[in-house]
Amino acid sequence: MDWDEFAAWGAKAAEFGAEYHKGVRERPVRPAVAPGSFADRLAPVPPEAGEEMGAIWEDFERIVPEGLTHWQHPRFFAYFPANAAPVSMLAEMLVSVLAPQCMLWQTSPVATEMEGVMIDWLRQALGLPEGFSGVIQDSASSATLSAVLTMRERATGWTGNREGLSGKGQLRIYCSDQVHSSIDRACWVAGIGQENLVKLPTRDAPEFAVDAEALRARIAEDRAAGHVPAGIIAVTGATGVGAWDHLPELVEIARDEGLYLHLDAAWAGSAMICPEFRAQFWEAVEGCDSIVFNPHKWLGAQFDCSVQFLRDPKQQIDTLKIEPEYLKTSHAEVVNYSEWTIPLGRRFRALKLWFLIRYYGLEGLRARLRNHVAWAGALCEDLRRDGFEIVTEPILSLFTFRGPGDDAAQQALVDAINADGRIYVTQGMHAGRKVIRFQVGQFDCTRDDVMMAGTVIRELAGDRS
Ligand SMILES: *Cc1c(COP(=O)(O)O)cnc(C)c1O
């Protein structure tokens, strides 16, 4: 493809993007398609001869949009959002066309330096004190794995990477029973093992925080049994119902016990750009060693963009840095971010943050988040008034509820809602009961979109009772 042809197709791609997003509200959020609907429409063998771009494009338009679950649909209320503000899409288009590898300062000086500045913008935006630095990773799963590996190396006197783990006792990591599955997987692949991830019970509503007394007692028990406590993983805004741990207690325990403290705020972290939420969710956050939050969830930075803040990056660098001859550079004073992470190759993720934060300003981003929280609260009250059981009250913009009937009826209602297509929600389990999970956070979502969700839920629950 020559560059003039590239420019013409690039313009067409941008035009397609605008039209797709202008019309996405009219599409069902989740396509009504059966498994296997698309593989059959693709050639089973790769072409030997090159094809015309026009033919490729036609097939794209014919096959792809109707096979998508539309994550950028304003009535996407399932899971958590994966927001992509238009301006962050533009930045990603530019990253695509520049296609740099950002592993070392010298492989992309501006990307490295912009990453440092964006980390510091977000540190200020989230109310973290000076001294925290950080790195942009692909996902919270990777950041949490990095933190767990650091816990492992600290706890083994920095010998795990060299010698392996045999004969080093059972390393223990502590968390609540509300944490995301990425914490389990980090412990699996770090060689800690599921049985050494100690999940403690949580206290009651409204916060479902880990029981600090139980945590202290368990650490003491484990030490007495000859195990090796290595770290604590706290959560602010867990996936199920938004559970949040009391950070002041966990910071104190980590300090007393000499444990590394990682905070998973993958979803809720974005809301901490609003100072009014910090007193509740962010108190003592500066005592954490590592904090992860995903601007690609609620802030508007296109996936992937996960920010890990670190109080002392040296511990993570001592865990992950490896420097074969071909990666040596002659600049001693620069940051080489691939030494902070597991993959070597790195995308230029800072650009979309730079575009996003400049275009909307923090005030513009805060206004969106505040609306989402307010609208989720309003819908929750409407549903309560209409006789729905609110199982967990809104935590930021997430609440759970039940319609009439038993667990099977809840799942049937979720399935009916999603087959209807006007909105998309997911189910969850809370305290042994099936719940319908509702979160507001899509970037272009309006109050009318949220209120329409109420109409759809009432209508379909009414049909079934
Ligand atoms: C989404 C989420 C994760 C996982 O995030 P990825 O970036 O997809 O790895 C982890 N923890 C919480 C609380 C989440 O909401």
**Can you tell me the distance from the alpha carbon of 229 to that of 171, in angstroms, rounded to the nearest whole number?**
6
Report pLDDT digits (tens) over 352-383: 999 999 999 999 999 999 999 999 999 999 99
Asked whether 238 lines ligand 1 (CB < 6 A), one says yes
The residue whose CB lies within 8 Å of the most ligand 1 atoms, and thus the one to mutate among 141, 148, 183, 439, is 141
pLDDT above 70: residue 397: yes
Q: What are the domain boundaries of the chain? A: 17-84+362-465, 101-347
**Can you tell me the distance from the alpha carbon of 174 to that of 235, in angstroms, rounded to the nearest whole number?**
11
Same fold, 17-84+362-465 and 101-347: no
Using the mean position of ligand 1's atoms as its centre, give its distance from the Cα of residue 181 in Å: 8
CATH 3.40.640.10 fits 101-347, yes or no: yes
- When pLDDT is averaged across residues 283-293 and rounded to a whole number, the result is 98
Are 353 and 121 in contact, with CB atoms under 8 Å apart? Answer: yes
378-387's contacts with Cβ under 8 Å and 24+ in sequence apart are 378/447, 378/450, 378/451, 379/438, 379/440, 379/450, 379/451, 379/453, 379/454, 380/438, 382/451, 382/454, 383/454, 383/457, 386/458
Using the mean position of ligand 1's atoms as its centre, give its distance from the Cα of residue 180 in Å: 7
Asked whether 241 lines ligand 1 (CB < 6 A), one says no
Report pLDDT digits (tens) over 23-69: 999 999 999 889 998 999 999 999 999 999 999 999 999 999 999 99
Atom of ligand 1 nearest to the CA of 180: 11
Using the mean position of ligand 1's atoms as its centre, give its distance from the Cα of residue 15 in Å: 32
Within 10 angstroms of residue 279's Cβ, the number of other Cβ atoms is: 8
The residue whose CB lies within 8 Å of the most ligand 1 atoms, and thus the one to mutate among 80, 233, 294, 426, is 294
Using the mean position of ligand 1's atoms as its centre, give its distance from the Cα of residue 238 in Å: 9
Using the mean position of ligand 1's atoms as its centre, give its distance from the Cα of residue 202 in Å: 20
pLDDT score of 464:
65
For the domain with range 17-84+362-465, which CATH number is right: 3.90.1150.170, 3.30.300.30, 3.30.870.10, 1.10.1200.10? Answer: 3.90.1150.170
Confidence of residue 329 (pLDDT cuts 50, 70, 90): confident
Exposure b/e, 47-74, CB count within 10 A at least 16 = b: eeeeeeeeeeeeeeeeeeeeebebbbbb
Q: Pick from 394, 264, 305: which is nearest to 85 by CA?
A: 305
> In whole angstroms, how far apart are CA 262 and each of 179, 245, 247, 286, 461?
12, 12, 11, 11, 41
**Position 274: which residue type?**
C
**Mean of the per-residue pLDDT values for the chain?**
96
**Can you tell me the distance from the alpha carbon of 364 to that of 87, in angstroms, rounded to the nearest whole number?**
13
pLDDT score of 327:
84
pLDDT score of 374:
98
Structure token digits, residue 190:
């770090």
**Can you tell me the distance from the alpha carbon of 193 to that of 254, in angstroms, rounded to the nearest whole number?**
21
pLDDT score of 393:
97
pTM for the model stands at: 0.96
Report pLDDT digits (tens) over 206-215: 889 999 999 9
